[in-house]
Structures are given as structure tokens and as C-alpha cells.
Amino acid sequence: MASVKLTKVKKIYDNKVVAVHDFDLDIQDKEFVVFVGPSGCGKSTTLRMIAGLEEISEGTVEIDGEVVNDLQPKDRNIAMVFQNYALYPHMTVYDNIAFSLRLQKLPEDEIYEKVTNAAEILGITDYLLRKPRALSGGQRQRVAIGRAMVRDSKVFLMDEPLSNLDAKLRNQMRAEIILLRQKLNTTFIYVTHDQTEAMTLGDRIVIMKDGYIQQVGTPTEVFEMPKNLFVAEFIGAPKMNIMRTELTREGDKYFVKPFGVKLEVDGAKGAALAAKHAEAGEVILGVRPEHIVLTHAGEPGAIPCTVEVNEMMGSELHLHVLTEEGTRLIVRVPTIDLEGEERENMVNGHKLYVTFRGKVMHFFHPETEENLLN
Amino acid sequence: MKRYSDLEYLRLSKWHKFLYRLTSFFCAIPQALVNLLKSIGGFFQKIFVGIGTELSDLVLTFKNGDWKTRTSYLVMGFGSIARGQVLRGLLFLLFEAVFIFYMIFSGGYWLSMLPSLGKQGPAKEYDPVYDAYVTHYHDNSFKILLYGVLTIFFIIAFIYTWRMNVKQNKISEEILKSGKKLKSGKDDLRSLVDDQFHKTLLALPLSGILIFTVMPIVFMILVAFTNYDGTHDGFANSLFSWQGLKNFNTMLSWSGSGVNYSATFGEILTWTLIWAFFATFTNYFLGMFTAMMINKKGIKLKKLWRTILVLTIAIPQFISLLYVSKMFAKNGIVNGLLLKLGWISQAIDFWGSTAHSGLLARVMVIVINIWIGIPYLMLIATGILMNIPADLYESSRIDGASGWKQFTKITLPYMLFITGPYLLTSFTSNMNNFNVIFLLTGGAPTNSAASGAAGSVGFTDLLITWLFKITMGAESQYYLASVIGILVFVVVALITLVVYNLLPSIKNEEDFQ
Amino acid sequence: MNEKRHLGLKASARISNTLIYILLVIMSVVWLIPFICIVLQSFRVESTYPVGYVIPQKWGLDNYIALWNSDFKRWYLNTFIVALVTAALQTVFVLCMSYTLSRFRFKLRQGLMRLMLVLGLFPGMLTMIILYRVLKDLGLTQANAVPGLILVYVASSAMGYYVSKGFFDTIPKSLDEAARVDGATRAQVLWKIILPLAKPIVIYTILTAFMGPWGDFVFARYVSFGTSSGMNVAVGMYSWLSLDQIGSRYTMFCAGGVIVAVPVTLLFLFLQKYYVEGVTGGAVKG
């Protein structure tokens, strides 16, 4: 059993700067949790507090029910993969991986077993006698993982392990980490600034900003029901389109009027608004680029705009369009949906019409930025 | 002074810009000094506040503590032992015992004698055993001062340890109250190689510094307030006593029983500053220049040139300097060669000429110091030059910059930024560069005008060689040497503080990153 | 018209390079001359007083033999022992201090560094007297100058931590952290991980610590206080150049200079790359 529980954990530096505020989280055994957020949001600091590399200013961290605040890293039974791998440069790959085992004074035979096993899983058996400087970035990454793997620890911590790899390698390693997770069957806590990694790897995602937790949830939850504007904009690429508009109410129905075009908030969203007795008034409206569809002039809810930039992504076009009053929107259009001529027309200056349904609308309070349907 | 906005500044002529920057620099100095005084004031304020907090903490701990804690106020370590931390408790107890023992048998005596530094000096007394007048020695001022200071240090250490003892009691109580366990002796030992490892590592080195640097410096500062010298050596000849600020007055006053100390001091100080300035900057720029020459693309045998120059670092200075000094002697090799070549008709007295107040000797000293210093600077400059990103030069070449432009706009600023702090320490250590001056000239040629009771002063004497002469001289005026030492320290410290805060390195750190 | 003003890249580079070569040759000669002179003079046998020419008229090993028969042997041994022991102990002290300051963050860290900075601003001469007295009371002067010198050199040596600390700062702290997560105590981290990586700076420290005592003149002189058996080479040879001795000892001085300089220089050349690495790496990061 290796659950991790953080209760009201705070990190305050000497100069009174608070890096992490009141962090509360319950991580189940064998769960893969991702801490994600922009630089400086406190995710790495929290991870390091769990590891014992940073002192916990307030609150408690429990691993497997035991409070570990005063324990040294080596006594917490954790393993960690660092962002810059932190491989011991003067030792061979074998010695790097064997280091912790030798400190535990295990017999060499056992060490040999464990190291070669891990090497085989990671595909680095050929490099066991090489030194880190003779390895590529991806290979070093695997050695770092191998070093953490052999410890049979309760919790596996990873601090932005993929940040130093190029894009292609990153995708490849992501898949390997998922495989690794299945093999190791232990609790993972993973830190990244990349929301794609968070979405693909995590059972649950913890989104942080400025030291505060913004939302904790499964990838689906944070994608479909972002708790506030920050989460909505952070998750999903390209960013969600944000517009300020007015929410009006007519009986049981709600309407928004983005760019002068009246749209009904139909379907489940409208019902939810009604259930919450949402007040009419100014509101921040969010719609994801993939949820905006092309339509024609004259159709209900058609918003006129002009194409500024057209990014050809292969299977999609990312259209950057400008509405009549100057707001920029991004619209994702599958290329397959466009006939040849239509595709040619998507150039700067081309006029088109877009619209969206109620079920893809997200509403946020104009001041608190909280989701109205929380 | 008119302050320009960024846009206004850009419109100024080049000359105007330069003037503006120059005046800004000088106008910033008073502010820097004010800031300095403020920070010193703040420092003292922190100390007072700190002491206040400590005292109130002591009182509170006593009030709120249990009986074990309260007993520990008297018997150190009692609380620790009573709570099961035997190792710690015993160590505290032992320390207290040693301290009390020492104070009773030794410390008390030294402390009591400290204000007077001894009452009875050596005196000829009638000794019945030998049936003659024999010199009997009594108090020893030197030992009193020395051990008195040591005792004060010991007392301070004791207060600190006692305070730690009280604090530990408070912390232990809190830990036990919250239900946790106290660290055992074994835990303590283990933490000495882990989280408290720094204490283990620093124990010996810090004690060494404390005993062999801090204590002597404190002692010598105190000596400056006595009249300790050859005749008042505190024991064999006669005791010495406190003089208050008298010595400082003598040194800094304009008039004074025929010997004008402050004028001498001023003269030597001026030369020391000039010397430090030239020594530092000639070496710096010439060393940089040499490094750039060797580093230039297309120059072969780089390693050979560097090795030859670096060789001079290896050879002990006393050999090179002494020999070079003899080379330039009146009957030395240089004169011999010049005479043979017919370039001069009479041997040049490099080290002797008092004409122009020993100008030739002073110039020679700076020139020879270049010979000593360039290899070292060249190494440093080479290291830095290799680290300047090549694309800075490449992009400037595309922009059309000539070699000289590249030097002034890229190389020089970068070098100055990186080596700013080094230049400062180089300057201050040159001010105290004993070896070069002493081995080359011994301070000669003699400055008869400035000499006097202060000992023979020369035109190339630095404050520190003067200090040395005073110490080793016939009268061994230690107190005078201490005064000079303190004044040197004040000058050096002031320069360091002011310049350090004005250094571009501190202000423009981000520019280079 | 333009062709006349610009010599072209290749030609102007060749001219400046030639100039540089000339300058470098001159510099090399100037820098080496004093040593060449010393070596040559050490073989001079026709006279022992300073003369105005360089090349000996008669060559021989008389001066070296005289060295062997004089107190020089004792001085050399003294200095060698002092240098060896100081090198070992000083390295330990300096590395302890610089590693601690680089890796650990403890309450008194800033204060300690500032204190050492301030202490370093005091002229070293000042403390000489009191240290001499302390040594005298301990019986470590004159004939016993060697242990006394070692004690003084080593005790405060940790104050010279700047270069080493600069070097340690360049070793990523994540290595320490990885090792601690792997289960190492901080002592094990130092011993197993950091020290193997710090080889250049360790050698640099040993080298500079070894070279130091050969050149110390002032303090060694004070401590030996006239007792020849306690002197080091610097003090002893300095006395040879005093007015009354120089007539008969000048050439011996040169021979002594050679004997002292050669081993130290060879050692230095051998370990040159570490010295350079230390100076350029650590000194400037400081």
C-alpha cells in the first residue's frame, strides 16, 4: 500500500514568499497523479516536499499513513527521476543504477539480477558499461528511470522528465512511461508544465497556479468541466476562445449574444443554468476551437468573421478569424470536411460564418472567473 | 542634477552622454555612502532587537517551562538528561563544569587584571637567598591581555552554549507535548554525518580560524590602545597599560613632539593607493591583451607561449624577486650590460636615487610587478575569453564591427563584468602586497624627510612594509603597528564597500545572462 | 581606390600575426631571462660575489657542493616537510569549508562568509606577533619552527575557500539530491559522488597549498628567529644576500634558487592543466 496524503501543506521561504498554499490532496495507492501548471506555480516545490528535498513549512505529508515530515529522503522509500537526469557522471550506467542497492548493502548477485532486469525492460542492456556522457538524451532518461525502478519504492516521483527531449522523442517516451506504469504498478506523482502530457498520462490531474490548486480531476473532468477560467484556458490546445458577453434569460431559456448574434443556450447546459437559477448579466463565455463549426450566412446564430491566418495542420485547419468588432477566435476545421474549392478559399480576407451549440458553451463569472455551473 | 528620460538620453550627443554618465557616477557616491551608513545602522538595530528578543524569550521560557527546564538554568544539561537525552546532557554538564573550574582557577584572575594590565612590574628586590639585588618578575601585561581576551571569548562561548541549553529544553518540551519522540544519542550521532554534516565539516576549520585569526586580530586591535613596545614589553622590562585613544591621536594629528606621524602616514598611504592602482590595472589590461594575442586565430603554439609565461608563477617569489632586485643593482647584470653596450656611461642607481622622491625606484617596482603578475592574469583572461559566446562576435562582424570595436563593445564589458569583484580584491590585496615591495627594495630609497622616530621610511614603502619595519625595528613599537594596521583595514574596508556597491556586476547582472 | 585602403583579410591578418609572433618571442625571452641568468650564474666558479656579466668564465659545480655542505640541506628539508604536511591538511580544511558553503544552507552561512571577508581585509602582518608568542609558549619556535609553521599555515587556511567553492558551485545540486533519494547520507554524497567529480580542484588545492610554504618569508623568519636549524629556504637564502654575506654567497644563492625552483616548477608543469582549470574555473566564479 502506498497512498500519499497531503494535508494543508504550505511552503514559505525565508523572505516570506509563499510558494505553496494549503495544498490538500489524497492520492490512492497505484494512482498516477500529475501536477501541472505554468512555471513558478509550485508544482516542483510540492513534489520536492514529498521527496524530502524541501522542508515542509506547515501541514503534513503522509506516505502509507505514516507522517514523513521529519524523515530524510532516504527513509521515505521514494524514488525520483530528475529533470536533468542527474546521472553520476563518473560511474557507468550499471553503477549508476546499482548505486542505491549498494548503499543498502545487498549482495552483488541480487544487484546484478535487479539491474539487468531493469535494463532489459528499458532496452539499455547494451549500454551498461558506458558512461553517461556517451549516451543520448533519451538513453540517459532511461537510465534515470532505471535507477529509480530498481528501488522497489512505494512512490515514484518524476520531475518534468521529458522537458529536455525533442518533440518526437517526447511523444515516444510518453508512451513508454505509460507502459512502465503498467509494469511497475506503483503510485506515480508526475510534474510537468505540458498539459498534453498531463492529459495523456494522468489518472487524475492537479492543476496549479501561483501556489494554489485550481482543480483536481480526471482528464475528462478538467476538460469538460473546468472549474475556472484559468483551467479552461490551460487545458486543451489551441486555447479555448474567450469572449465577454451578456447572458439573458427569457423564462426558462437562456441566451447569449456574442458579437451581436443571439444564440440560445440549448440542451443540457441550458437546463443546468436553469437548475442553478443563474442570474442574467455579464458573463465570460468560453468555447473550444474544435467546438466552433462553420455555417452559412442566414443560418440562425451565424457569426460573421474574416480569416486572418490559416494554419495547415494536416488533418485540420486552424483558422484564426477576426469578428466584426475585432475579437480574434481560433476555429479548428477538419480538412476532410472541406471540398477542394472551399479549402482554397480559406485565405486571408475570406469571409465566413461560424456558430456553436449550447452544449459546448462554458460560462464564467466576470469577476471571480469561476465556472457558473460549479 | 538633471535626470534624463530614456528617450531624452538617446538624443544627446556622444560627449554629452559621457558627461552625464560621469556625473551620475559621482553623484551616486554620496548616496552609496549614505546607504552604507544606513545599513550599518540597520545592522546595529538588528542586534539590539535581537538581544531584546533573546532576553524576552529567556524570561518566557523560564515562566512557562517545567521544573526540568528551570533547573537547567542553573545546572546545564539537566533537562536533557532528565528527558533521556543522556549524551547531550552530559556534554552540556561537562562544558559547564570545565567553565566554572577554569573561571575559579584562572579566568577570574585574568579578568580582574584586565583593566589595569598588571600592577607590579619587574623590580629589583633584595633576595635573601642570593644576598643581592635580583630582578624579580611579577605581573605580565602581555599574558594578562592575551588570557584576558581568551577568557572573554570563553565567557561568550559559555553564554551561547547556556542559551542553546535553555532553547533545547524549550524545544524538547514542545516536542514531548505534541506527542513525538526526542532524538536519542544514536540519532544525534547519525545526524552528524547527514543533515548536521555541515557542523562536523566545519568544526575544525572554524576553530582554527577562531583561534588563529579572530583572536589575534582582536588582540592586536586592543594593543593599539596600549603602549606595548620594545621597552614596555609587559614583562621583562616594564608593564604596558591602556592608553585610550592616545595612539590614534598621535598618528592622525598634525603636530606631535617633532615627529609628524600623520604626514608620514598620509604620504605612505598615497603611494600605497597609487601603487595598488597601477599594479592592479597594468597587470589587468596587459594580461588581457596578452591572453587575446595568444588566443587569436592563426597563432600557433598557443600552449607553448602560455606555458613559458606560466612558468614564472611556479618559481617561488623570493627567488625571482630577490634575484631581479640584484640584477638591477649598481653592480648588477643590467647595469653591466648597459655599460658594455655603451648605452650609459655610469651605472644607474635604480634602487637608490632619491631624486624626484625615488621616482625611478617606484617605476621599477611597478614594471617588475608586471613581470610577476601578467602570467596569472593571462590565465584568468584566457579562461573568460574562451567563455564569451562566439555568436556575439559573429553577429557584430555581420553588423560591420572592426576588431577594435569588438574589443571595446564586447570583450571589455564582458571581462569587466566577470572580473569586477576580482579586480576589487586584487586592488585591496595589492595594497597589502608585502612580498613584492620588501623583496625588491626593502622600501628603499630612504625618505629622510619622513623618517624619524617612526623608523626609517622609504619611498617605495607601503603601509604594510612600514608596519613591518616598526614591528621589527629597534623599538618594536607594536602599538604603533597595530594602529597602522587598523587604519589600513579601515581604508581597505571602505574602498571595498563603496566600490562593491557601485560595481556594474551587481547592477547589470541580467544584461549578461 | 578601395583596394589601396583595405589590405584584404588575409594580408592584414598575416601582418598582425607576424607582429604578434615577434611580440610573443620578445616576451618569452624577457620572462625567461632572469631564470636563465640564475641557472648560468649558479655554475660560475671564478668568483662568488655579484658581477656585471652573465656567462660564467669558468664553469663548475662548486656552488652546488657548497650548498650540500651548508645549512641549506636543513632548510630544504624543513621547507619540504612543511610543504608536504601543509598541502595535505590545508586541502582537507579548505575543501571542508568550500563544500559546506556550497552545498549547505544554514542560518549562519551568510554571516560566516561576510566575517571571513572582513577578516581577510586585515593585513596579515598584524597577527604575526601574537602568533609568535603563542607558538613560543607552546615551544614551537626556533628549533621547532617546523611544526609551528605547519600549525599556523593550516589553522586559518579555510579562509581561502573562494576558488574551491566556485568550483563546487558548478556541480549541479541535483546530483546531491539524486544520491540522497537513493539512500546516501550527506557524508556519503561527499565521499562517493562529489569528490570523484572534484578531482581538478582537489589537485589545484593541493598544488597551491604545497607551493605556498616555499615562498613564505616573513612569518618563517619571525618564527625561526635566528636559529638556523629552524629556518626555511626563503629565510636562509635571504640572509645570504645581506650585505655581509653576499660577497661569498651570491653564487650559492643562485644554485640554491635552482635547487628550490626546479622540483616545484616540474611539479607545476606536470599538474599545469589542473592549476589552469582551477584558476579559470573557480577563481572567477568566486
Both C245 and C194 in a single domain?
yes
**End position of a domain, from candidates C11, C27, C62:** C62
Give the range among A50-54, A188-192, B279-283, B382-386 with minimum mean pLDDT.
B382-386
Inter-residue contact A371 to A278 (CB < 8 Å): no
Both C100 and C139 in a single domain?
yes
In tens, the pLDDT along A67-109 reads: 999 888 888 889 999 988 889 988 999 999 999 999 989 999 9
Both C33 and C102 in a single domain?
no
Distance from CA of C170 to the nearest CA of A (A): 13
pLDDT over threshold 50, residue B77 = yes
- Enumerate the residues of chain C whose CB falls inside 8 A of the CB of residue A74: 180-185
**End position of a domain, from candidates A214, A234, A254:** A234
Phi-psi region of B474 (alpha: psi -120 to 50; beta: other; left: phi over 0): alpha
Q: What's residue C234's pLDDT?
A: 85
Is residue A138 one of the residues assigned to a domain? yes
pLDDT over threshold 90, residue A214 = yes
Both C57 and C105 in a single domain?
no
C2 — pLDDT class (breaks 50, 70, 90): very low
Both C105 and C22 in a single domain?
no
Give the range among A130-134, A338-342, B151-155, B508-512 with minimum mean pLDDT.
B508-512
Both A144 and A282 in a single domain?
no
Both C39 and C109 in a single domain?
no
Q: What percent of chain A has pLDDT over 70?
A: 100
Is residue B43 one of the residues assigned to a domain? no
**End position of a domain, from candidates A211, A234, A257:** A234
- At C131, which CATH number? 1.10.3720.10
B237 — pLDDT class (breaks 50, 70, 90): low
Is residue A169 one of the residues assigned to a domain? yes
Long-range contacts made by residues B30-35, C-beta under 8 angstroms, separation at least 24? B32/B498, B32/B501, B32/B502, B33/B498, B35/B501
Both C281 and C231 in a single domain?
yes
Note if the pTM is more than 0.95: no
Q: What is the mean pLDDT of residues B9-29?
A: 82
Both A230 and A247 in a single domain?
no
Task: Give me the residues paired with residue A248 across strands.
Answer: A255
Is residue A110 one of the residues assigned to a domain? yes
**End position of a domain, from candidates B181, B200, B219:** B200
Both C182 and C269 in a single domain?
yes
- At B450, which CATH number? 1.10.3720.10
Higher pLDDT, B470 or C95: C95
pLDDT over threshold 70, residue B447 = no
Both C169 and C276 in a single domain?
yes
Nearest Cβ partner for A82 among C178, C184, C192: C178
Are C53 and B209 an interchain contact pair (Cβ–Cβ within 8 Å)? no
Q: What is the mean pLDDT of residues C124-137?
A: 80
- Enumerate the residues of chain C whose CB falls inside 8 A of the CB of residue A72: 180
Is residue B85 one of the residues assigned to a domain? yes
Is residue A116 one of the residues assigned to a domain? yes
Parallel, antiparallel or unpaired: strands A187-192 and A155-159: parallel
Are C172 and A51 an interchain contact pair (Cβ–Cβ within 8 Å)? no
> What distance in Å separates the CA atoms of residue C286 and residue B421, rounded to the nearest whole number?
8
In tens, the pLDDT along B307-364 reads: 888 888 888 888 888 888 888 877 777 877 788 887 777 777 777 765 566 778 888 8
Both A44 and A148 in a single domain?
yes
Write out the residue range of the structural domain in which residue C56 sits.
2-62
Mutation for testing the B interface, residue in C5, C122, C164 having most B CBs under 10 Å: C122
* C197 in A contact zone (CB under 8 Å): yes
Are B322 and C131 an interchain contact pair (Cβ–Cβ within 8 Å)? no
Both A117 and A132 in a single domain?
yes
Is residue B118 one of the residues assigned to a domain? yes
Both A270 and A222 in a single domain?
no
**End position of a domain, from candidates A206, A234, A262:** A234
C255 — pLDDT class (breaks 50, 70, 90): confident
pLDDT over threshold 80, residue C258 = yes
Give the range among A342-351, B221-230, B353-362, B464-473 with minimum mean pLDDT.
B353-362
- What contacts B63, CB < 8 A, 6 or more positions away? none
Residues 51..90 of A with a Cβ closer than 8 Å to C: which? 51-53, 72-74, 78-80, 82-84, 86-90
φ, ψ (nearest 5 deg) of residue B477: -80, 80
Phi-psi region of A277 (alpha: psi -120 to 50; beta: other; left: phi over 0): left
Mutation for testing the C interface, residue in B193, B198, B466 having most C CBs under 10 Å: B198
Both B322 and B464 in a single domain?
yes
Give the range among B135-144, B227-236, B445-454 with minimum mean pLDDT.
B445-454
**End position of a domain, from candidates C62, C92, C112:** C62
Are C174 and A83 an interchain contact pair (Cβ–Cβ within 8 Å)? yes
Distance from CA of B371 to the nearest CA of C (A): 7
In tens, the pLDDT along C150-167 reads: 988 998 888 888 888 888
3-state secondary structure of A129: coil
CA distances from B304 to A62, B294, C64, C280 (A): 62, 10, 30, 18
Is residue A372 one of the residues assigned to a domain? no
Task: Give me the residues paired with residue A371 across strands.
Answer: A364
Are B326 and C50 an interchain contact pair (Cβ–Cβ within 8 Å)? yes
- What contacts B189, CB < 8 A, 6 or more positions away? B87
Task: Find chains touching chain C: ≥3 CB pairs under 8 Å.
Answer: A, B
pLDDT over threshold 90, residue B298 = no
Both B175 and B313 in a single domain?
no
pLDDT over threshold 60, residue B459 = yes
Is residue B273 one of the residues assigned to a domain? yes
B292 — pLDDT class (breaks 50, 70, 90): confident
Nearest Cβ partner for A84 among C172, C188, C192: C172
Give the range among A244-248, A330-334, C134-138 with minimum mean pLDDT.
C134-138
Q: H or E element: which one contains B375?
A: helix B359-387
Write out the residue range of the structural domain in which residue B317 sits.
261-512
Inter-residue contact B61 to B73 (CB < 8 Å): no
**End position of a domain, from candidates B200, B216, B245:** B200
Give the range among A306-320, B173-187, C23-37 with minimum mean pLDDT.
B173-187
Are A73 and C177 an interchain contact pair (Cβ–Cβ within 8 Å)? yes
* CA proximity to C163, closest of C259, C57, C60, C279: C279
Task: Give me the residues paired with residue A66 across strands.
Answer: A63
Distance from CA of C175 to the nearest CA of B (A): 16
Q: What is the mean pLDDT of residues A204-219?
A: 94
Both B267 and B193 in a single domain?
no
Distance from CA of B488 to the nearest CA of C (A): 7
- What contacts B303, CB < 8 A, 6 or more positions away? none
Distance from CA of A281 to the nearest CA of C (A): 52
Q: What is the mean pLDDT of residues C226-239?
A: 81
How many alpha carbons lie under 13 Å from residue B350 in its C-beta half-sphere? 22
Q: What percent of chain B has pLDDT over 90?
A: 3
> What distance in Å separates the CA atoms of residue A50 and residue A63, rounded to the nearest whole number?
9
Q: What's residue B280's pLDDT?
A: 92
* C46 in A contact zone (CB under 8 Å): no
Is residue B213 one of the residues assigned to a domain? no
> What distance in Å separates the CA atoms of residue C79 and residue A10, rounded to the nearest whole number?
58
pLDDT over threshold 90, residue A36 = yes
* Average pLDDT in chain C: 83
ipTM of the complex: 0.82
Both A166 and A195 in a single domain?
yes
Both A177 and A38 in a single domain?
yes
CA B440 to chain centre: 23
Q: Rg of chain C's alpha carbons, rounded to an integer?
A: 25
Both C58 and C77 in a single domain?
no
Residue of chain C nearest B432, judged by CA positions: C123
pLDDT over threshold 50, residue B373 = yes
- What contacts A249, CB < 8 A, 6 or more positions away? A255, A278, A279, A280
Inter-residue contact A24 to A213 (CB < 8 Å): yes
* C7 in B contact zone (CB under 8 Å): no
Residue B372: all three cell numbers together: 610577476
Distance from CA of C20 to the nearest CA of B (A): 7
Both C117 and C134 in a single domain?
yes
- At A217, which CATH number? 3.40.50.300
Inter-residue contact C120 to B206 (CB < 8 Å): no
Q: What's residue B507's pLDDT?
A: 47
Is residue A170 one of the residues assigned to a domain? yes
Both A187 and A324 in a single domain?
no
Q: What's residue C1's pLDDT?
A: 44
In tens, the pLDDT along B197-227 reads: 888 899 899 988 988 899 888 888 888 887 7
Q: What's residue A232's pLDDT?
A: 94
* Average pLDDT in chain B: 80
Both B144 and B74 in a single domain?
yes
- What contacts B407, CB < 8 A, 6 or more positions away? B292
Domains identified in chain B, total number? 2
In tens, the pLDDT along B50-75 reads: 888 888 888 888 888 778 778 878 88
Inter-residue contact B194 to C187 (CB < 8 Å): yes
Q: What's residue B256's pLDDT?
A: 47
Write out the residue range of the structural domain in which residue A258 sits.
241-364
Is residue B19 one of the residues assigned to a domain? no
Both A215 and A262 in a single domain?
no
pLDDT over threshold 80, residue A172 = yes
pLDDT over threshold 70, residue C3 = no
Residue A291 per-residue DSSP state = G
Are C177 and A147 an interchain contact pair (Cβ–Cβ within 8 Å)? no
Both A208 and A260 in a single domain?
no
Residue of chain C nearest B315, judged by CA positions: C261
Q: Hunting for cell 436553469 — which residue is that?
A: A274
Is residue B168 one of the residues assigned to a domain? yes
DSSP-H helix ranges across chain A: 43-51, 93-103, 108-122, 137-149, 167-184, 195-201, 219-224, 229-234, 267-275, 340-345
Both C151 and C26 in a single domain?
no
Q: What's residue B330's pLDDT?
A: 76
Is residue A112 one of the residues assigned to a domain? yes
> b/e per residue, B151-175, with b = 16+ CB within 10 A?
beebeeebeebbeebbebbbebbee
Nearest Cβ partner for C50 among B197, B212, B332: B332
Is residue B32 one of the residues assigned to a domain? no
- At A292, which CATH number? 2.40.50.140
CA distances from C139 to A59, B149, B230, B317, C155 (A): 59, 21, 22, 29, 17
Both A179 and A300 in a single domain?
no
Are B209 and C159 an interchain contact pair (Cβ–Cβ within 8 Å)? yes
Inter-residue contact C168 to C94 (CB < 8 Å): no
Both A294 and A157 in a single domain?
no
DSSP-H helix ranges across B12-140: 14-64, 67-72, 78-82, 86-102, 108-113
In tens, the pLDDT along B300-315 reads: 788 888 888 888 888 8
Residue of chain B nearest C94, judged by CA positions: B205
Inter-residue contact C82 to C140 (CB < 8 Å): no
Q: What is the mean pLDDT of residues A319-345?
A: 86
Is residue A91 one of the residues assigned to a domain? yes
Domains identified in chain C, total number? 2
The 10 Å Cβ neighbour count of residue B57 is 14
